[in-house]
Structure 1
């Protein structure tokens, strides 16, 4: 089962539908209606931290869940969810060069992990005014995709099963969004089945 933590975002149920299309059972809980004990009880195969308004400080239990379950349960952060992951590892969040809401933009990516078999460059849909400050990223986090202006569009942990994307894979105009989510599930499965 996938635990989808809803940060009160209108895109959460688009994400829910995409995950169902990948033949997964999905439980949606709001960020103020989930805690560490509940996640322990559920034992999800993947935690997805949804987009939402505001910054990481407005995500209820999300940061505590990332800090508690990093290295125990794979975690994927989307938009605000990526910012939560980066913030939990000490990165700063700053205003983007320009707010981008509902715009399709090109990103360049690593071609591996979440981006395996996806076109490069890739057209993605962005809805955000905040970004992860690249210079503040700790050594344990890798930049896996960036905008044409160098803003961080995806990251991953070098050793732990943690990934984040700043854009919306569940948005209709994002190319390969469902494939990216499928790649996240493959990465999570590979981590759980290691050794």
Structure 2
């Protein structure tokens, strides 16, 4: 069973639908609905950390979930979840030059398995005003950046099964969102 940790985001159940399209059972829990101990007792195969309106440090058990599971359980962070992974491993959370709420961007990516069968550049939908920066010497690998301002849009850890994407794969404005989710389902 996969666990989708809901950070009180309006896109959570659309993201759930995308995750279910992979053929895997996925259950949603809010970030204050259970403890990390209770979550561990569920023995999740994978954890997805949803977007949300706050910062990672204000997102319930989000940072504690990363602390507990990052070495053993594949984690996908989306938007706020991406920011949480970046912060946990030592990246810097910064304000973007201007809010990117409901804005599309062209993104270039490398040949990481997360992007199999996805063109580069690709169009993605963004809903954020914070981003991860300065990931040098953190163990994080940059996977994708925006074409126009080089904002980090995806990352992975070089050792642990952790991947973050800043944009929203579940948005209709992201052309290859389901493919990205399918690719993540095949990793690790």
- Normalised by the length of structure 2, the TM-score is 0.96
Alpha-carbon distance in 2 for matches of 1:5, 1:24: 16
- Residue of structure 2 equivalent to 1:144: 143
Is the counterpart of residue 48 in structure 1 residue 44 in structure 2? no
- Residue of structure 2 equivalent to 1:6: 6
Alpha-carbon distance in 2 for matches of 1:57, 1:115: 29
CA contact (8 A) 1:89 1:138 kept: no
Q: Alpha carbon RMSD of aligned pairs, Å?
A: 1.1
Q: Which consecutive residues of structure 2, in runs of 5 or more, have no partner in the other structure? A: none
CA contact (8 A) 2:98 2:129 kept: yes
Runs of at least 4 residues off by over 3 Å: 136-139
Per-residue CA shift, 1:40-60, capped at 9, x if unaligned? 211111100000012111111
- Residue of structure 2 equivalent to 1:130: 130
- Tell me how far 1:136 sits from its aligned partner: 4.4
- Normalised by the length of structure 1, the TM-score is 0.92
Bigger shift: residues 37-46 or 174-183 = 37-46
Q: Which consecutive residues of structure 1, in runs of 5 or more, have no partner in the other structure? A: none
- Tell me how far 1:111 sits from its aligned partner: 2.5
Alpha-carbon distance in 1 for matches of 2:153, 2:142: 8
Alpha-carbon distance in 1 for matches of 2:37, 2:7: 19
- Tell me how far 1:82 sits from its aligned partner: 0.3
CA contact (8 A) 2:100 2:129 kept: yes
- Residue of structure 2 equivalent to 1:182: 182
Bigger shift: residues 39-48 or 119-128 = 39-48
Alpha-carbon distance in 2 for matches of 1:164, 1:137: 16
Alpha-carbon distance in 1 for matches of 2:91, 2:8: 23
- Residue of structure 1 equivalent to 2:107: 107
Change (3 A) 1:21 1:136: closer
Alpha-carbon distance in 1 for matches of 2:17, 2:136: 32
CA contact (8 A) 1:91 1:138 kept: no
Alpha-carbon distance in 2 for matches of 1:143, 1:97: 20
- Residue of structure 2 equivalent to 1:69: 69
SS of structure 1 residue aligned to 2:39 = helix
- Superposed counterparts of 1:21-100, under 5 Å: 21-100=21-100
Aligned length: 187
CA contact (8 A) 1:111 1:118 kept: no
- Tell me how far 1:69 sits from its aligned partner: 0.7
Identify the structure with the greater helix proportion. Answer: 1
